[in-house]
């Protein structure tokens, strides 16, 4: 077989000489959603981990919306769970409203979302970190990277000039931590500036400092940075809102947890609350329009680009001038505090303007502000410099995960953290890298998109980004990932045993459906179930032979979808198989794209710039045509043969 | 494209009056052959050439099968070449049938890639072929723009835009809450899908109707009477035209098929430019002129023994441009220079020195003409396959769209409909470029104010 896939890391493992001075195996800088999953995943794989955070009491803080999941994102949470991560479990323990979204559409695009009590969430996440053997929490301000000497001859000449091995971090108080790999998960904290109207302050989150030194170190290493913007809405005092005038939105009657580890008998653990809905109006829009010149974005004080999918209220009003009203969700941040998150009016207008427009909204006439909305502008690393292990291509020992890579969202961050932490630990242990494909997981789509892109707005997951959406359902994340995770050591025996039991029951039910005949016909139950109007729950409730499964809602839903989607799934599976070889044909880290004779200039240049990791990844780049891919395949083969001969 | 799969493609230019070749390569070749082989003879298994019939699922058509079990084939895999009558609808039906049976459509360069990977071609050769394929697809894009400007591409472009809007509506419904996007009524989605489907069917009918206008590359012999055009025509086409040593005996435009390397071109012989006497001559000349206008290449056949001043005048009349090629004839006669003089060659696409009577120099002529037409090196016919591929892509897009629409009407969920739309778009992408998820998101964000 030619071009047999190997899962390689971009750099040779750290030489033995360096290992003597390590205080840890892996350092994770940042205690956000990426940092938590990174630290836990590395530790589950046996690494000694230090999680370095400015404030140990802020581990797992929900900086923005206190919600987990959502369309495209809920699937990621289920995948993190299937890979042994904690985001789903923490959400289950702390959720105060659970909703399955898109229930009126098909199973492949349904996604769970929950609102969590932000304080409970932080506490539970912190507890998981503290209880994980092998993780030490180090409170301190990581100011700079520690460079060490290591082999660089595997890098390209132009990269070698500025490249250094990273072997640790130096804290503001002078302490130095040494490790084989450093995973930066500093979120929006790199050279972060917060804007509210004309006033600006350094900092990545209200009340917390910016990380200044690390950006400079990254630039020293020749890493290209960009600038992005994100925003957050005002927080209002619960008792200042006139709730009686607002529509209520409650959670699902029978909420479903994210995690397979969550005990369904005790779920949900927290009392469930309702959210409320209100709308902006013309008066609101007038206030915003009259003051638009005072918005840092519109006044040009913010250079970074904000997300289109989560626009500020300024953007909504200015860009969609014909829309008469915009919706707001008033979401309690906690069961025990008075903070209400005004979802839908993210803004960086001056404080008095925020107060004026918010008080023009029904129910909020006397709203009191606990915190004003603000925008954060921050450095991010152009993610095309990453390998798909989340290690930087040109800096051995340094990996990046989360918003630092230009993404948005806790879920996207957690997923990257898990993959980055796991791969850092695997690299040090001299084990094969762990990379997911686009057809295996949304995490694979996320990774593959990132490493060939230079985002101009924070990257958020959408189901439309996944070509194999029908394969990547939230309810089959465990079937897609858990066995593999267990092989690696990411998932414990207990979770694996539960998964196998669940699979056994599903398989038994499927067999049964194939055997049972519809009364008065030759059709099997399975064939019968393919019809859109037939429900398995109904069949199970009325067929004695299926009594064993009756009431197992999630299992029945999964099996029903498997049966109903079988034809489409088969087609997508064939597509995947066809592409598999291409997907798994790796492009070596040292491959010289400029030597691609015979290829058009445009294709060669874009390949050299984005340096795709696999042939499949190369084939999806705009401007690269099928003949270019064939030519690339041939050059890769030559490269391989020469390598083997040398 | 995995090397383990079996691929199929039209391997020869499908033109009116020519035969078409469908090439299949891969481990499934014998299964596919068994499935399409019709007739009383047993399904061939050994290397060789077999007359038979091809069952395309709707009927059968005459077939000449060339079977080359691996490793004695171009790709070293099992290869079957189906030589079929050059009728575009029949060829399309045959290819469609092979794909239905599990063959994958071969992307450009795929046969070459396999040949290389299986050790059949060395690297230099493979690189050469593929860079040519790359150049060809660029040329193809330009050719498509030129040839089909105002035609298929415009139609496809407009339909793609409609399809993209429809997809954006579906994707927005799937990726965002209804509070964000508003509810898009199912009726609107199905109406839009029907409109696209109607448009695609019209485009396909239009493309089918106009296909016979085009065909193989057109090569026309021009020159004064008795320059040796007819003799050359006869030699190149293996005897289809009248040959006479008396001036002006070619009374009509004659057509024949000339095999140039791996490909075929349509060769025309026309009346000489000077002999417009009788009515028949005039008519023939009219045809000749028309052909010269529309030809891909004009071979200017010259008797090298004529006085230089006459040749210069003739050269003047011929004009300049990429589509002109000098054939320096009669080099085997004493006193005729072995090569045309420099001033005659200037500004032409190329030249060759031959003896139409003796056959000397003809292989070199073919090589140079092949290069001029961009047919060389196994990449031949890419541009001329264009129309067949377009029809194929259109038909596949229509099938996908219509089956998705039917299922959606019967109650299948929106995401399955969206999957059909995605697949249909991917088919159209084979004609006019690709839509990325980013493009869709751009559309969604342009249309809806989204996000809390």
| pLDDT at B352 > cutoff 60 | yes
Which CATH architecture does the domain made up of A585-645 adopt? Orthogonal Bundle (1.10)
Q: B445 to chain A: which residues are within 8 Å by CB?
A: 308-309
Interface test with B, best of A70, A341, A464, A567 (most B CBs within 10 A): A464
Per-residue pLDDT reduced to its tens digit, A577-636: 766 666 677 888 778 888 776 677 777 888 888 888 888 888 777 667 666 777 787 778
Provide the pLDDT for residue B225: 75
Provide the pLDDT for residue B202: 84
Provide the pLDDT for residue A73: 96
Mean per-residue pLDDT, B28-37 = 93
- What CATH number does the domain containing B100 carry? 3.30.1360.120
Are A627 and B451 within 8 A, CB to CB? no
Provide the pLDDT for residue B394: 85
Are B412 and A637 within 8 A, CB to CB? no
Classify residue A386 by its DSSP letter. B
Work out how many domains chain B is built from and give that number: 3
From B103, B118, B133, the end of a domain falls on B118
Whole-number percent of chain B with pLDDT over 70: 65
The pair of structure tokens assigned to B178 is 């209804």
B312 domain-assigned: yes
* Distance (Å) from the alpha carbon of B141 to chain A's nearest alpha carbon: 12
User: Where residue B353 falls among pLDDT bands split at 50, 70, 90?
Assistant: very high
- What would the DSSP string read from start to end of A175-238? -EEE-SEEEE--TT-BT-EEEETTEEEE-SBTTB--B-HHHHHHHHTT--EEEEEEEE--EEEG
Whole-number percent of chain A with pLDDT over 70: 95
Per-residue pLDDT reduced to its tens digit, A91-149: 999 999 999 998 888 888 999 999 999 999 999 999 999 999 999 999 999 999 999 99
Are A622 and B436 within 8 A, CB to CB? yes
Count residue pairs from A and B with Cβ separation < 8 A: 152
| pLDDT at A463 > cutoff 80 | yes
The set of residues, in sequence order, having a beta carbon less than 8 Å from that of A345 and lying 6+ positions away, is: A233, A234, A280, A313, A326, A328, A357, A358, A373
User: Where residue B114 falls among pLDDT bands split at 50, 70, 90?
Assistant: confident
Pick the residue from chain B with its C-alpha nearest to A341.
B452
Residue B358 and residue B247 share a domain: yes
Q: A580 to chain B: which residues are within 8 Å by CB?
A: 2
* Distance (Å) from the alpha carbon of B134 to chain A's nearest alpha carbon: 5
Are A465 and B437 within 8 A, CB to CB? yes
Nearest CA-CA partner of A416 in A137, A78, A103, A34: A34
Provide the pLDDT for residue B245: 36
Q: Which of A256-270, B39-53, B287-301, B400-414 has the lowest mean pLDDT?
A: B287-301
Give the domain A493-569 fold: Arc Repressor Mutant, subunit A (1.10.10)
Are A598 and B412 within 8 A, CB to CB? no
Q: A532 to chain B: which residues are within 8 Å by CB?
A: 410-413
Provide the pLDDT for residue A434: 95
The more confident residue out of B264 and A494 is: A494
Provide the pLDDT for residue A62: 94
Are B412 and A469 within 8 A, CB to CB? no
* Distance (Å) from the alpha carbon of A174 to chain B's nearest alpha carbon: 43
Q: Which of A106, A319, A328 sits opposite B413 (nearest CB)?
A: A106
| pLDDT at B125 > cutoff 80 | no
* Distance (Å) from the alpha carbon of A462 to chain B's nearest alpha carbon: 6
Q: A327 to chain B: which residues are within 8 Å by CB?
A: 179, 452
Mean per-residue pLDDT, A497-509 = 94
The more confident residue out of A369 and B335 is: A369
Measured distance CA(A188)–CA(A61) in Å, rounded: 13
Q: A618 to chain B: which residues are within 8 Å by CB?
A: none
Nearest CA-CA partner of A275 in A308, A309, A241: A241
Measured distance CA(A23)–CA(A42) in Å, rounded: 15
Q: Which of A276-285, A529-538, B9-18, B411-420 has the lowest mean pLDDT?
A: B9-18
Strand intervals (E) in A44-141: 49-53, 67-69, 95-101, 111-116, 135-139
Classify residue B299 by its DSSP letter. E
- What would the DSSP string read from start to end of B92-127? HHHHHHHHHTTPEEPPTTHHHHHHHHTTSS-HHHHH
Q: Which of B117, B413, B441 sits opposite A637 (nearest CB)?
A: B117
Mean per-residue pLDDT, A466-477 = 92
Q: A328 to chain B: which residues are within 8 Å by CB?
A: 452
Measured distance CA(A89)–CA(A124) in Å, rounded: 9
Residue B350 and residue B412 share a domain: no
Provide the pLDDT for residue B269: 77
Interface test with B, best of A626, A632, A640 (most B CBs within 10 A): A626
Instruction: List phi, psi (to 5°) of B193.
Output: -65, -40
From B371, B401, B419, the end of a domain falls on B371
| pLDDT at A457 > cutoff 80 | yes
Q: What Å distances lie between residue A300 and A210, A293, A305, A373, B162, CA to CA? A: 22, 9, 11, 18, 36
- What CATH number does the domain containing B288 carry? 3.40.50.300
Q: Which of A107, A329, A627 sits opposite B109 (nearest CB)?
A: A627
Are B422 and A467 within 8 A, CB to CB? yes
Residue B89 and residue B72 share a domain: yes
Mean per-residue pLDDT, A158-177 = 91
* Distance (Å) from the alpha carbon of A578 to chain B's nearest alpha carbon: 5
Are A630 and B108 within 8 A, CB to CB? yes
Residue B388 and residue B366 share a domain: no
B429 domain-assigned: yes
Mean per-residue pLDDT, B247-274 = 64
Provide the pLDDT for residue B203: 81
Q: Which of A536-545, B9-18, B54-63 has the lowest mean pLDDT?
A: B9-18
Provide the pLDDT for residue B253: 58
The more confident residue out of A196 and B313 is: A196
Q: Which of A141-155, A275-289, A304-318 has the lowest mean pLDDT?
A: A304-318
Residue B346 and residue B223 share a domain: yes
Quick check: B371 and B394 in contact, CB under 8 A?
Answer: no
Quick check: A307 and A458 in contact, CB under 8 A?
Answer: yes
| pLDDT at A326 > cutoff 60 | yes
Are B109 and A630 within 8 A, CB to CB? yes
Tell me what ipTM this predicted complex has: 0.80
Q: B175 to chain A: which residues are within 8 Å by CB?
A: 71-72, 109, 462-464
| pLDDT at B55 > cutoff 50 | yes
User: Where residue B286 falls among pLDDT bands split at 50, 70, 90?
Assistant: very low
Residue B337 and residue B253 share a domain: yes
Quick one: which H or E segment has residue A342? strand A339-343
Average pLDDT, whole number, for chain B?
Answer: 74
User: Where residue B150 falls among pLDDT bands split at 50, 70, 90?
Assistant: very low
Q: B131 to chain A: which residues are within 8 Å by CB?
A: 597-599, 631
Query: What burial class does residue A445 get, using C-beta atoms within 10 Å of its C-beta: 0-12 exposed, 13-18 middle, 19+ buried?
Result: buried
Q: Which of B133, B136, B174 sits opposite A463 (nearest CB)?
A: B174
B336 domain-assigned: yes
Are B104 and A578 within 8 A, CB to CB? yes
Which residue reads 């060389």 in tokens? B376
B32 domain-assigned: yes
User: Where residue B57 falls among pLDDT bands split at 50, 70, 90?
Assistant: confident
| pLDDT at B146 > cutoff 60 | no
Provide the pLDDT for residue A127: 98
Interface test with B, best of A109, A462, A627 (most B CBs within 10 A): A627
Interface test with B, best of A630, A633, A635 (most B CBs within 10 A): A630
| pLDDT at A433 > cutoff 90 | yes
Interface test with A, best of B3, B27, B130 (most A CBs within 10 A): B130
Provide the pLDDT for residue A75: 97
Residue B275 and residue B155 share a domain: no
Residue B310 and residue B238 share a domain: yes
- What CATH number does the domain containing B414 carry? 1.20.120.430
Mean per-residue pLDDT, B94-101 = 85
* Distance (Å) from the alpha carbon of B416 to chain A's nearest alpha carbon: 8
| pLDDT at B214 > cutoff 70 | no
Provide the pLDDT for residue B148: 39
Provide the pLDDT for residue B335: 85
| pLDDT at A645 > cutoff 50 | no
Measured distance CA(B64)–CA(B288) in Å, rounded: 34
Per-residue pLDDT reduced to its tens digit, A59-80: 999 988 999 999 999 999 999 9
Are A71 and B177 within 8 A, CB to CB? yes
User: Where residue B17 falls among pLDDT bands split at 50, 70, 90?
Assistant: very low
| pLDDT at B195 > cutoff 80 | yes
B443 domain-assigned: yes
Q: A316 to chain B: which residues are within 8 Å by CB?
A: 449
The set of residues, in sequence order, having a beta carbon less than 8 Å from that of A505 and lying 6+ positions away, is: A549, A552, A555
User: Where residue A5 falls among pLDDT bands split at 50, 70, 90?
Assistant: very low
Q: Which of B11-15, B37-41, B364-368 has the lowest mean pLDDT?
A: B11-15
Provide the pLDDT for residue A597: 67
Residue B149 and residue B167 share a domain: yes
User: Where residue A43 falls among pLDDT bands split at 50, 70, 90?
Assistant: very high
Mean per-residue pLDDT, B275-286 = 43
Which homologous superfamily is A22-229+378-487 in?
FAD/NAD(P)-binding domain (3.50.50.60)
Provide the pLDDT for residue B295: 64
Residue B438 and residue B321 share a domain: no
Are B128 and A637 within 8 A, CB to CB? no
Quick check: A617 and A387 in contact, CB under 8 A?
Answer: no
Residue B152 structural domain: 145-211+382-447
| pLDDT at A309 > cutoff 60 | yes
Are A309 and B413 within 8 A, CB to CB? no
Interface test with A, best of B415, B426, B431, B440 (most A CBs within 10 A): B415
Quick one: which H or E segment has residue A449? helix A442-451
| pLDDT at B151 > cutoff 90 | no
* Distance (Å) from the alpha carbon of A328 to chain B's nearest alpha carbon: 7
| pLDDT at B153 > cutoff 70 | no
The pair of structure tokens assigned to B195 is 């409109």
Pick the residue from chain A with its C-alpha nearest to B445.
A308
Measured distance CA(A220)–CA(B4) in Å, rounded: 47
Pick the residue from chain B with its C-alpha nearest to A599.
B131
Q: B108 to chain A: which residues are within 8 Å by CB?
A: 626-627, 630
Q: B176 to chain A: which residues are within 8 Å by CB?
A: 71
Measured distance CA(B163)–CA(B87) in Å, rounded: 31
Measured distance CA(A642)–CA(B216) in Å, rounded: 42
Average pLDDT, whole number, for chain A?
Answer: 89
Provide the pLDDT for residue A136: 98
Residue B244 and residue B172 share a domain: no
Provide the pLDDT for residue B123: 56
Kind of pairing, strands A165-171 and A176-178? antiparallel
Query: What burial class does residue B4 get, using C-beta atoms within 10 Å of its C-beta: 0-12 exposed, 13-18 middle, 19+ buried?
Result: middle
Residue B350 and residue B301 share a domain: yes
What are the sequence ranges of the domains in chain A? 22-229+378-487, 493-569, 585-645
């Amino acid at each position: 077989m030619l071009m047999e896939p190997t899962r390689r890391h971009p750099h040779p493992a750290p030489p033995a000489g360096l290992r003597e001075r390590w205080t840890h195996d892996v350092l994770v800088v940042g205690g956000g959603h990426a940092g938590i999953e990174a630290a836990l995943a590395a530790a589950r794989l046996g690494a000694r981990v230090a999680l370095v955070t400015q404030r140990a009491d802020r581990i797992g803080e929900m900086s923005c919306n206190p919600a987990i999941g959502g369309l495209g994102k809920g699937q990621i949470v289920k995948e993190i769970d299937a890979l042994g991560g904690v985001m789903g479990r923490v959400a289950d323990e702390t959720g105060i409203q659970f909703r399955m979204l898109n229930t009126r559409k098909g199973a492949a695009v349904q996604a769970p979302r929950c609102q969590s009590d932000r304080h409970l969430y932080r506490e539970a996440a912190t507890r998981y970190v503290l209880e994980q053997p092998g993780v030490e929490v180090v409170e301190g301000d990581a100011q700079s990277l520690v460079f060490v000497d290591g082999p660089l001859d595997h890098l390209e000449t132009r990269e070698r000039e500025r490249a250094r091995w990273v072997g640790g971090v130096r804290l503001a108080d002078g302490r130095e931590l040494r490790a084989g790999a450093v995973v930066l998960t500093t979120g929006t904290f790199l050279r972060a500036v917060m804007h509210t109207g004309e006033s600006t302050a350094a900092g990545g989150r209200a009340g917390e400092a910016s990380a200044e030194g690390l950006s400079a170190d990254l630039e020293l290493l020749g890493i290209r940075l960009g600038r992005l913007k994100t925003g957050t809405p005002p927080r209002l005092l619960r008792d200042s809102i006139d709730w009686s005038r607002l529509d209520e939105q409650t959670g699902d009657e029978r909420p479903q947890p994210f995690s397979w580890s969550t005990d369904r008998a005790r779920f949900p653990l927290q009392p469930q609350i309702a959210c409320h809905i209100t709308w902006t109006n013309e008066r609101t829009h007038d206030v915003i329009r009259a003051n638009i010149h005072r918005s840092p974005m519109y006044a040009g004080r913010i250079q970074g680009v904000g997300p289109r999918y989560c626009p500020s209220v300024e953007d909504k009003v200015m860009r969609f001038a014909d829309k008469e009203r915009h919706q707001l969700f008033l979401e309690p941040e906690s069961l025990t505090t008075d903070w209400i998150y005004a979802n839908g009016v993210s803004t960086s207008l001056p404080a008095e303007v925020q107060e004026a427009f918010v008080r023009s909204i029904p129910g909020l006439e006397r709203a009191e502000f606990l915190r004003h909305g603000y925008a954060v502008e921050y450095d991010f690393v152009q993610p095309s410099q990453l390998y798909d292990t989340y290690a930087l291509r040109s800096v051995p020992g340094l990996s990046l995960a989360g918003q630092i890579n230009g993404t948005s969202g806790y879920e996207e961050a957690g997923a990257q953290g898990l993959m980055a932490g796991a791969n850092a630990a695997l690299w040090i242990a001299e084990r094969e890298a762990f990379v997911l494909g686009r057809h295996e997981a949304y995490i694979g789509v996320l990774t593959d998109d990132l490493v060939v892109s230079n985002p101009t707005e924070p990257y958020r997951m959408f189901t439309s980004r996944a070509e194999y959406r029908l394969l990547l359902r939230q309810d089959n994340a465990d079937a897609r990932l858990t066995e593999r995770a267990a092989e690696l050591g990411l998932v414990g025996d207990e979770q694996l045993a539960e998964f196998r039991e669940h699979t056994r029951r599903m398989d038994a039910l499927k067999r049964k459906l194939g055997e049972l005949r519809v009364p008065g016909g030759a059709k099997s139950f399975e064939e019968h179930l393919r019809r859109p109007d037939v429900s398995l729950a109904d069949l199970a409730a009325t067929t004695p032979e299926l009594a064993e499964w009756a009431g197992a809602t999630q299992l029945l839903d999964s099996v029903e979808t498997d049966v109903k989607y079988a034809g489409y799934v088969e087609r997508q599976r064939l597509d995947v198989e066809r592409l598999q070889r291409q997907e798994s044909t790796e492009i070596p880290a040292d491959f010289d794209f400029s030597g691609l004779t015979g290829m058009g200039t445009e294709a060669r240049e874009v390949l050299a710039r984005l340096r795709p990791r696999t042939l499949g990844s190369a084939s999806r780049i705009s401007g690269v045509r099928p003949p270019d891919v064939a030519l690339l395949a041939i050059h890769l083969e030559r490269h391989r043969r020469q390598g083997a001969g040398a | 494209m995995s090397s383990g799969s079996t691929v199929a493609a039209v391997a020869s230019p499908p033109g009116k009056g020519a035969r078409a070749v469908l090439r299949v390569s891969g481990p499934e070749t014998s299964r596919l052959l068994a499935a399409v082989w019709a007739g009383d003879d047993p399904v061939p298994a050994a290397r060789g050439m077999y007359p038979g019939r091809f069952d395309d699922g709707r009927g059968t058509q005459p077939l000449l099968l060339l079977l080359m079990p691996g490793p004695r084939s171009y790709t070293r895999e099992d290869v079957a070449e189906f030589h079929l009558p050059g009728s575009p609808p029949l060829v399309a039906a045959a290819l469609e049938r092979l794909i239905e049976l599990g063959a994958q459509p071969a992307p450009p360069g795929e046969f070459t890639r396999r040949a290389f990977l299986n050790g059949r071609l060395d690297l230099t050769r493979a690189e050469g072929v593929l860079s040519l394929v790359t150049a060809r697809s660029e040329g193809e894009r330009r050719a498509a723009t030129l040839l089909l400007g105002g035609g298929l591409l415009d139609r496809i472009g407009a339909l793609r835009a409609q399809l993209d809007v429809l997809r954006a509506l579906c994707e927005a419904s799937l990726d965002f809450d209804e509070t964000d996007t508003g509810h898009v009524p199912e009726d609107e989605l199905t109406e839009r899908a029907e409109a696209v489907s109607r448009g695609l069917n019209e485009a396909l009918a239009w493309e089918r109707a106009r296909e016979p206008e085009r065909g193989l590359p057109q090569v026309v012999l021009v020159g004064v009477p008795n320059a040796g055009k007819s003799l050359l025509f006869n030699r190149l086409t293996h005897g289809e035209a009248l040959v006479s040593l008396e001036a002006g005996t070619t009374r009509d435009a004659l057509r024949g098929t000339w095999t140039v390397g791996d490909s075929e071109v349509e060769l025309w012989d026309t009346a000489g430019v000077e002999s417009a006497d009788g009515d028949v001559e005039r008519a023939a000349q009219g045809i000749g002129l028309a052909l010269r206008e529309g030809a891909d290449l004009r071979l200017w056949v010259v008797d090298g023994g004529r006085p230089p001043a006459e040749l210069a005048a003739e050269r003047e009349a011929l004009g300049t441009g990429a589509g002109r090629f000098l054939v320096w004839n009669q080099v085997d006669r004493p006193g005729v220079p072995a090569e045309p003089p420099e001033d005659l060659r200037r500004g032409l696409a190329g030249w060759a020195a031959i003896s139409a009577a003796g056959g000397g120099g003809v292989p070199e002529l073919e090589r140079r003409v092949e290069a001029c037409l961009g047919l060389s090196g196994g990449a031949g016919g890419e541009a001329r396959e264009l129309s067949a591929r377009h029809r194929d892509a259109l038909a596949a897009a229509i099938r996908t769209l219509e089956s998705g629409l039917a299922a959606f009407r019967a109650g299948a969920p929106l995401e399955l409909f969206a999957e059909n739309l995605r697949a249909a778009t991917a088919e159209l992408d084979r004609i006019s470029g690709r839509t990325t998820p980013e493009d869709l998101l751009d559309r969604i964000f342009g249309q809806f104010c989204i996000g809390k």
